[in-house]
């Protein structure tokens, strides 16, 4: 049976799709069979960031409407053969797809994968229900901003109405330079406010920005180490957290930090 993890946040644009895609790649690199489900119906972002947009023949709505079987809609990643994507579509009324439909799809592929990662849309309406309903674990993504933390806190409250057995926190877009100068909310305060176990911290990284433009996952940059640790933490339950401040420490780091301030 697969672990079914929904990646959610409440607030939009905090990095759910980015984390879902990268986690898929890094878990498959650890040797696991991973299926990514784009349940953000109407906005097909996951196939774009994975560079699979042109390979889409069938999508999740075709599966629900009976036009094809789940296996026909799943796209295998060309670089990571144990990674598959079930793409969303933007041509179908999302109201016709329910949480039960997604659960039925998951039940069919459950035994073929170790992980099923569900990319949840922003908000807490029907789309949220559809993505959370079939999951049994949740990754809550926040950025170090009060608005994101408030929205995520509401999501955590709502999750108690579902069959979610464990929750983990991912702090995305952390800036090591601002952390050191005390100009950004620190990790301890965020964890305290959210009151759920921290599974990962992902730095703000230009490589991630480039990925969303190029449509491919790159395995370099600061974020690569952070995603590796996140995948390991999720799998093994260890708690190794990436230190975003390390490159801004010491004599050289001090100059980097100040240079960044001048350039910005
Ligand atoms: N760690 C990061 N460093 C730099 N840019 C990032 C990082 N994480 C996400 N981004 C950028 O932020 C933008 C939003 O990310 P993404 O689409 O993953 O968010 P989302 O939560 O899925 O949004 P939505 O709620 O609309 O589905 C993208 O352009 C992405 O490249
Ligand atoms: Mg998204």
Residue of 72, 75, 7 whose CA lies nearest to 39: 7
Q: Please report the pLDDT score of residue 257 as a whole number.
A: 67
Q: Please report the pLDDT score of residue 219 as a whole number.
A: 85
Q: Please report the pLDDT score of residue 45 as a whole number.
A: 87
User: CB–CB of 223/22 below 8 Å?
Assistant: yes
pLDDT band at 246 (very low <50, low <70, confident <90, very high): confident
Taking the centre of ligand 2 as the mean of its atom positions, its distance from the CA of residue 16, in whole angstroms, is 5
Cβ of 176 closer than 6 Å to ligand 1, yes or no, is: no
Does residue 253 carry a pLDDT above 90? no
DSSP per-residue string spanning 137-152: EEEEEE-SSHHHHHHH
Reading the block at residue 50, the tokens are 């994975």
Q: What angle do CA 55, 56, 62 make, to 5 degrees?
A: 155
Which residue's CA is the nearest one to ligand 1's atom 8?
A: 15
First to last CA, the chain: 48
Tell me the whole-structure pTM to 2 decimals.
0.94
Indicate which atom in ligand 1 lies nearest the CA of residue 40.
Answer: 27
Does residue 251 carry a pLDDT above 90? no
Q: Please report the pLDDT score of residue 212 as a whole number.
A: 77
Q: Which residues, in sequence order, are CB contacts of 98 under 8 Å at separation 6+?
A: 130
Indicate which atom in ligand 1 lies nearest the CA of residue 11.
Answer: 25
Does residue 170 carry a pLDDT above 90? yes
pLDDT band at 80 (very low <50, low <70, confident <90, very high): very high
Residue of 194, 164, 130, 139 whose CA lies nearest to 20: 139
Which of these ranges, 43-52, 69-78, 80-89, 233-242, has the smallest mean pLDDT?
A: 43-52
Q: What angle do CA 170, 217, 136 make, to 5 degrees?
A: 40
Residue ranges of alpha helices (H) inside 80-221 are: 99-109, 126-132, 146-159, 176-180, 187-194, 206-214
Residues 122-158 pLDDT 10s: 999 999 999 999 999 999 999 999 999 999 999 999 9
Which residue's CA is the nearest one to ligand 1's atom 14?
A: 13
pLDDT band at 92 (very low <50, low <70, confident <90, very high): low
Cβ of 15 closer than 6 Å to ligand 1, yes or no, is: yes
Cβ burial of 16 (10 Å; 0-12, 13-18, 19+) is: buried
Reading the block at residue 91, the tokens are 């041509």
Query: What is the total count of domains within the chain?
Result: 1
Distance CA 54, CA 59 (A): 12
CATH number, domain of 224, equals 3.40.50.300
Which residue's CA is the nearest one to ligand 1's atom 11?
A: 209
Residue of 118, 209, 109 whose CA lies nearest to 162: 118
Looking at the chain, how many residues does it have? 264
- Select from 10, 17, 18 the residue to mutate for testing ligand 1; criterion: most ligand atoms less than 8 Å from CB: 18
**Domain extent at residue 82:** 3-263
pLDDT band at 263 (very low <50, low <70, confident <90, very high): low
User: What whole-number percentage of the chain has pLDDT above 70?
Assistant: 94
Cβ of 127 closer than 6 Å to ligand 1, yes or no, is: no
Distance CA 100, CA 92 (A): 17
């Amino acid at each position: 049976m697969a672990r079914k993890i929904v990646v959610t946040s409440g607030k939009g644009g905090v990095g759910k799709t980015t984390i879902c895609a990268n986690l898929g790649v890094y878990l498959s690199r650890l040797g696991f069979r991973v299926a990514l489900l784009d349940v953000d119906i109407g906005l097909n972002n996951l196939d774009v960031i994975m560079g699979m947009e042109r390979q889409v023949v069938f999508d999740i709505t075709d599966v629900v409407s009976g036009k094809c079987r789940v296996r026909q809609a799943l796209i295998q990643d060309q670089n990571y053969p144990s990674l598959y994507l079930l793409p969303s579509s933007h041509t179908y009324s999302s109201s016709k797809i329910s949480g039960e439909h997604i659960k039925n799809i998951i039940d069919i592929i459950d035994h073929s994968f170790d992980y099923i990662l569900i990319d949840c849309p922003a908000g807490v309406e029907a789309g949220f229900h559809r993505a959370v309903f079939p999951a049994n674990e949740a990754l809550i993504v926040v950025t170090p901003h009060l608005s994101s933390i408030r929205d995520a806190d509401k999501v955590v409250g709502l999750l108690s109405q579902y069959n979610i057995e464990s929750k983990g926190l991912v702090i995305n877009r952390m800036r090591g330079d601002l952390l050191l100068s005390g100009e950004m909310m620190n990790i301890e305060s965020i964890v305290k406010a959210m009151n759920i176990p921290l599974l990962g911290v992902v730095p703000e990284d230009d490589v991630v920005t480039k990925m969303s433009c190029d449509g491919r996952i790159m395995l370099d940059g600061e974020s690569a180490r952070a995603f590796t640790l996140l995948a390991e933490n999720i799998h093994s339950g260890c708690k190794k957290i990436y230190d975003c401040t390390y490159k801004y420490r010491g004599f050289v780091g001090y100059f980097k930090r100040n240079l960044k301030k001048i350039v910005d």
